[in-house]
Structure 1
């Protein structure tokens, strides 16, 4: 089990952990019913914080941010000599947590995505882990929630008795949601994004060799060029350039922490 602490990657604290450590922390928090907000960040996720100081504070206010993308794992190695055996890929982390929950009798609440995706996801989870307890399922409204809706959502999740929320709203909305709701729910919140679509079978995953080579972004770009070309053509080079500046010591990226003045987005 590896847990080497957290390190600034362009001002975003990334935890140098492996799957075993991450799963253990999440399961422990779920069993004890205390707040534990988790996200798995690839390059795009890191850059959302790099380009937005308010969002950077939110990300650094989460309890666990794991290196979802290979380039983020490599940055930990290049900058801090933290050589992890593998990244902690959000979709794989989702399955490992679900498996552990099933074994320990813990329950999950699925929030986000579309009804048809959730239906397929639930069916596949039940096939993979027959003992997994799914306490509730609720699709996204794809808009900002009113204060009344927000409080009602909190009450529904609490009333379900769920030990954790699996959250699929997409980056950066899901990280904002995890930050805002972490102390309202007081259970683990896992921002797992595309894991909903991957495990529902509605979005194909990149071949393993592309994932290992850090080319998952290219696979996704080919799948959704109109939506993703600006993200990858702009953010990937900007990420690499600033990682180089950080490596050479030409720029310092000091993480900023929450100051209690972050605005409430309430997207659901």
Structure 2
């Protein structure tokens, strides 16, 4: 986590105008990248990729990468908020509902009073047109936020960041999934001991079965099957 903190601070203080992209994903993102060529391009273009989940950590270790640790997106966001509270950095939040954003704003202002909330936007429950999307980018740029947090769900949040980072004036764009709901208190986060033992997925599945059953009960076994094929040499992957 210290490396992530250092990297974000370097990005924020960089002299260039580049908006960098940080991807935070577990097996779901890896499996999506396998199935979807465009998302694979998105993932490969990221400036930094963080394993949010035990599956990518174990896969990295199986492939000889040592020192890889599970780094939940919520922990990344909390670390940044602590840093921003020290340094006065700012954020723009794009995603979720107005109710969630308002509650998140209330909690962030209470816990991190020196962190600046530059702006928030809850998208409509319909497809956003190109013109509307351009206005959202303009809104974010006008806010002069250091970091843009996207809570649109995977893969939408990462694809949006990939498509718009060349236009964004922020220093980084980060898709953060369920973290908005966690901070707002709308979604319960699993106890630390469950997460550290690799079972956050089971805890969240029990809490949100309608939302997560397909991902965890259909796609997860398929992902494990492809890992088996790769490890046994029965199939090669890019």
Supply the distance in 1 between the matched residues of 2:173 and 2:143 (Cα, whole angstroms).
Answer: 15
Report the counterpart of residue 220 of structure 2 in structure 1.
236
Indicate conservation of the 8 Å contact 1:31/1:163, yes or no. no
Deviation at 1:73, TM superposition (A): 0.9
Supply the distance in 1 between the matched residues of 2:199 and 2:133 (Cα, whole angstroms).
Answer: 38
Indicate conservation of the 8 Å contact 2:141/2:169, yes or no. no
Say whether residues 1:126 and 2:105 are aligned partners: no
Structure 1: gaps (5+ residues) = 1-18, 255-268
Deviations, residues 124-165 of structure 1 (Å, cap 9, x unaligned): 111211100111111122333212112111111111111110
Report the counterpart of residue 44 of structure 2 in structure 1.
60
Indicate conservation of the 8 Å contact 1:167/1:191, yes or no. yes
Report the counterpart of residue 155 of structure 1 in structure 2.
138
* Greater mean deviation of Cα atoms: 139-148 or 125-134: 139-148
Describe how 1:50-129 pairs up with structure 2 within 5 A.
Answer: 50-84=34-68, 86-129=69-112
Supply the distance in 2 between the matched residues of 1:23 and 1:81 (Cα, whole angstroms).
Answer: 21
Say whether residues 1:143 and 2:126 are aligned partners: yes
TM, length-normalised to structure 2: 0.93
Deviation at 1:31, TM superposition (A): 2.7
Structure 2: gaps (5+ residues) = none
Deviations, residues 43-92 of structure 1 (Å, cap 9, x unaligned): 112111111112111121221111110121111111124232x3111000
Report the counterpart of residue 265 of structure 1 in structure 2.
none
Indicate conservation of the 8 Å contact 1:67/1:89, yes or no. yes
Supply the distance in 2 between the matched residues of 1:143 and 1:21 (Cα, whole angstroms).
Answer: 38
Say whether residues 1:27 and 2:9 are aligned partners: yes
Q: CA RMSD in A?
A: 1.5
Indicate conservation of the 8 Å contact 1:79/1:246, yes or no. no
Deviation at 1:251, TM superposition (A): 2.5
